[in-house]
């Protein structure tokens, strides 16, 4: 039986057991372990202890070969002292990074075709995890370094994930605090023709804010899935919130739709989070005509605005309900910390940008206790390679005491 067939037939909580059996039979693997990134995006945590007395410890995301494979999204081969080698493989589905698969093989089995095959196994495992996660709590328990609040649980269950990619775009999001909730709203949907993104500031901390955000998200999805345009989606969400809270709970939101065939975009700014554009020689905040927040008044009519994306554009959404704090200087513009963070990350991958901007904002005197959500959208353009959103990179190999050498592309 193939690995894919074995994973399809496995019980949701036994994916790793099934995978270990398959890898032992097909590749003579002596062990296989799955490390999942925690909710706070700081640690890789084993789904279960490996079959040794000590087990596999949590691994910092910024250190070690597993962290390297996760950060670079490239397979990484470490030649152990002795007859084995360890392969670290990123487990990612359409840009959303779940963790790292760690496989120990006989050193003489680490041929190029084996590395390529294991990379496909890791991708297959990612798809299986996405399905299994709906039927077992095992993987969600693994991703916690501490307990979630009830509102944090609500937010993680309603948001679509941290990332999504396609031939023309790549988007990544990060928010803090990760184990509670600031009530922020995030959603996206992709079709052959368009990409729709929604980002909203939280209505405040606690369960009431999470309830308001959840209601708004369900209203937006309901309108979008009915085929309604962006302005109507905003209008119906406004009605749903006002009907429930009579203006006591409102959301400052931004709705964006990009035509994937042309790069033309329309935006509805409902008192929104800030929107930034980064180009090779320019970082600028896009000034939009702000309309009323969703749910503030009854029967608000929203009007979309137009925006054109150029190939290589980077859009960054910053949802910070308390306002973007200054870094401490009284003469500094409120947008100073964000502008500087975006300038520093101009040449970095889009996956790194949201976490860096969140840390900058929460690292200021006024922002340490505030909830922040940042989404980075890199627009490759409608002429981009249409073979898929995930582009495999180069793998590398280390041998203890020997300089870094190339390992075959997978």
In a domain, 385, yes or no: no
Instruction: Let me know: does 125 contact 8? Beta carbons within 8 Å.
Output: no
pLDDT of residue 89: 96
Give me the sign of the Cα torsion angle 7, 11, 16, 19: negative
Residues 98 and 215 in one domain: no
What is the chain's mean pLDDT, rounded? 86
- Per-residue pLDDT at 331 exceeds 50: no
pLDDT of residue 79: 83
Residues 135 and 224 in one domain: no
- Per-residue pLDDT at 235 exceeds 70: yes
pLDDT of residue 200: 94
Residues 174 and 309 in one domain: yes
In a domain, 384, yes or no: no
- In 271-371, the DSSP E strands lie at 274-279, 282-285, 305-308, 314-319
In whole angstroms, give the CA distance from residue 113 to residue 240: 55
Residues 188 and 93 in one domain: no
pLDDT of residue 90: 97
**50-59, 70-79, 89-98, 393-402: which is most confident:** 89-98
Q: pTM, whole model, 2 decimals?
A: 0.87
66 to each of 37, 146, 386, how far by Cα in Å?
A: 11, 22, 30
CATH code assigned at 43? 3.30.450.40
- Per-residue pLDDT at 69 exceeds 60: yes
107-116, 336-345, 371-380: which has the minimum mean pLDDT? 107-116
Residues 171 and 131 in one domain: no
Q: In what order do the strands lie in the sheet with 264-270?
A: 185-190, 194-200, 253-259, 264-270, 305-308
| Cα-based angle 143, 319, 351 (whole degrees, multiple of 5) | 50
Q: For the residues of 85-113, what is the DSSP string, one character each?
A: EEEEEEEEETTEEEEEEEEEEEGGG--HH
In whole angstroms, give the CA distance from residue 342 to residue 284: 10
Residues 322 and 396 in one domain: no
Number of domains in the chain: 2
pLDDT of residue 387: 40
In whole angstroms, give the CA distance from residue 374 to residue 365: 19
- Residue 279 vs residue 182, higher pLDDT: 279
- Per-residue pLDDT at 394 exceeds 80: no
Q: In what order do the strands lie in the sheet with 274-279?
A: 163-165, 169-176, 372-379, 314-319, 274-279, 282-285
Residues 183 and 311 in one domain: yes
The DSSP 8-state label assigned to residue 148 in this structure reads: P
| pLDDT tens digits, one per residue of 72-111 | 999 998 888 889 999 999 999 999 999 999 999 999 888 7
The most distant pair of C-alpha atoms in the chain lies apart, rounded to whole Å, by 71
pLDDT of residue 181: 81
Residues 27 and 160 in one domain: no
In whole angstroms, give the CA distance from residue 170 to residue 260: 12
- Per-residue pLDDT at 25 exceeds 60: yes
- The range of the structural domain enclosing residue 19 comes to 3-140+390-407
Residues 222 and 285 in one domain: yes
pLDDT of residue 395: 46
120 pLDDT band (50/70/90 cuts)? very high
Tokens of 328: 């401490």
pLDDT of residue 367: 55
Distance from the Cα of residue 100 to its chain's centroid: 15
């Amino acid at each position: 039986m193939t690995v894919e067939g074995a994973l399809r037939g496995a019980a949701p909580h036994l994916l790793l057991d099934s995978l270990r059996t398959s890898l032992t039979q097909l590749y003579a693997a002596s062990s296989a372990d799955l490390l999942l990134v925690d909710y706070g995006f700081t640690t890789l945590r084993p789904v279960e202890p490996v079959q040794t007395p000590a087990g596999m410890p949590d691994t910092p995301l910024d250190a070690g070969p597993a962290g390297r494979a996760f950060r670079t999204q490239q397979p990484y081969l470490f030649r152990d002292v002795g007859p084995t080698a360890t392969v670290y493989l990123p487990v990612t589905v359409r840009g959303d990074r779940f963790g790292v698969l760690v496989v120990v093989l006989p050193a003489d089995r680490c041929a190029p075709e084996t590395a390529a095959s294991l990379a496909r196994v890791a991708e297959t495992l990612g798809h299986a995890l996405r399905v299994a996660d709906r039927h077992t709590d095992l993987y969600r328990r693994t991703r916690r370094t501490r307990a979630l609040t009830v509102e944090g649980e609500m937010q993680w269950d309603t948001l679509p994930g941290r990332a999504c990619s396609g031939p023309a775009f790549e988007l990544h999001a990060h928010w803090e605090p990760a184990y509670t909730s600031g009530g922020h709203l995030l959603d996206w949907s992709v079709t052959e023709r368009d990409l729709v993104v929604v980002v909203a500031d939280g209505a405040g901390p606690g369960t009431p804010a999470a309830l308001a955000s959840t209601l708004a998200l369900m209203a937006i999805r309901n309108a979008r899935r009915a085929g309604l345009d962006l302005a109507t989606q905003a209008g119906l969400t406004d009605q749903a919130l006002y009907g429930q809270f009579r203006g006591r709970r409102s959301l400052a939101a931004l709705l964006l739709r990009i035509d994937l065939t042309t790069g033309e975009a329309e935006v509805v700014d409902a008192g929104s989070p800030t929107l930034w554009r980064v180009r090779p020689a320019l970082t600028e905040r896009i000034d939009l005509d702000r309309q009323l927040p969703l749910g503030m008044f009854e029967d608000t009519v929203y009007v979309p605005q137009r925006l054109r994306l150029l190939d290589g554009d980077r859009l960054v959404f910053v949802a910070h309900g308390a306002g973007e704090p200054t870094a401490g200087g009284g003469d500094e513009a409120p947008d100073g910390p964000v502008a500087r963070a975006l300038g520093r990350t101009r040449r970095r991958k889009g996956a790194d940008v949201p976490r860096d901007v969140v840390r900058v904002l929460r690292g200021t005197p006024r922002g340490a206790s505030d909830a922040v959500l940042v989404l980075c959208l890199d627009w490759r353009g409608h002429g981009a390679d249409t073979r898929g959103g995930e582009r495999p990179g180069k793998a590398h190999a280390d041998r203890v005491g020997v300089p870094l050498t190339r390992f075959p592309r997978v």
